[in-house]
């Protein structure tokens, strides 16, 4: 059953619509490479992580629903219930536990989309960091299509140390060409199979740049 990894699709669409309105109203919000995003099938958005804004900025312009991550400590009360309703996956601290990984693979098996960050945590200074093996493991085992994704400008308006976002500025999301499992996975005999897979994904993310002309 396609894209069935979101418990409440109507609420998800409302949240996405509000996020799109917010970014388009208060920022110069642009994208490139949207044609690279598959319309069907399991997809992994693998992105650099520099801001609290990254998850909604990635998905506000994507009409297919996306499963995001959030700290498990946020899943309390009505807010926590709302996070679950829109398909958010709770994760302990910065590391996905077994329960989180099962939720990721379940979403991909349902031909859904997940957004993951190979670096594992937000960059303090906005720079590209060395990845961890988790993203590579998910990509190799699921064999889902990976879309390298790079965010520009989110760190400047809402970085890791900022207590509140700055209004105004340019936010650009670059969606790279799709990567198949065959070009990501170095093979079972590789001594650092999953880390090498993550490095291959991260290299494609690092190679992305905003074009001279952007698609609004």
Cβ neighbours around 24 below 10 Å, total: 15
pLDDT value, residue 214: 46
pLDDT value, residue 94: 54
pLDDT value, residue 2: 43
Question: Would 25 be classed as within a structural domain?
Answer: yes
Question: Would 213 be classed as within a structural domain?
Answer: no
- Looking at the DSSP bridge assignments, the partners of residue 156 are none
What's the CA angle centered on 113, arms 62 and 97, to 5 degrees? Answer: 135
Residue among 172, 129, 134 at smallest CA distance from 44: 134
| Three-state DSSP class for residue 31 | strand
Question: Would 3 be classed as within a structural domain?
Answer: no
Question: Would 1 be classed as within a structural domain?
Answer: no
Question: Would 130 be classed as within a structural domain?
Answer: yes
- Looking at the DSSP bridge assignments, the partners of residue 55 are none
> What residue ranges of the chain have pLDDT lower than 70?
1-4, 93-96, 213-216
Question: Would 174 be classed as within a structural domain?
Answer: yes
pLDDT value, residue 179: 98
Question: Would 216 be classed as within a structural domain?
Answer: no
């Amino acid at each position: 059953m396609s894209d069935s990894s979101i418990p409440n699709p109507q609420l998800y669409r409302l949240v996405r619509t509000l996020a799109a309105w917010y970014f388009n109203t208060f920022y110069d919000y642009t994208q490139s490479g949207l044609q690279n995003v598959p319309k069907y099938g399991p997809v992994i958005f693998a992105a650099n992580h520099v801001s609290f804004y990254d998850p909604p900025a990635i998905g506000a312009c994507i009409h297919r629903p996306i499963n995001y991550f959030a700290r498990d400590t946020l899943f309390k009360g009505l807010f926590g219930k709302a996070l679950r309703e829109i398909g958010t996956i709770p994760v302990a601290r910065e590391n996905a536990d077994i329960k989180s990984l099962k939720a990721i693979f379940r979403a991909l098996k349902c031909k859904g989309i997940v957004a993951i960050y190979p670096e594992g945590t937000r960059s303090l200074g906005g720079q590209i960091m060395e990845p961890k093996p988790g993203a590579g493991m998910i990509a190799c085992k699921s064999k889902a299509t990976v879309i390298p994704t790079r965010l520009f400008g989110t760190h400047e308006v809402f970085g890791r140390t900022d207590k509140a976002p700055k209004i105004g500025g340019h936010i650009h999301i670059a969606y790279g060409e799709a990567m198949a499992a065959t070009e990501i996975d170095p093979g079972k005999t590789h001594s650092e199979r999953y880390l090498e897979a993550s490095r291959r994904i991260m290299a494609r993310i690092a190679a992305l740049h905003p074009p001279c002309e952007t698609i609004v």
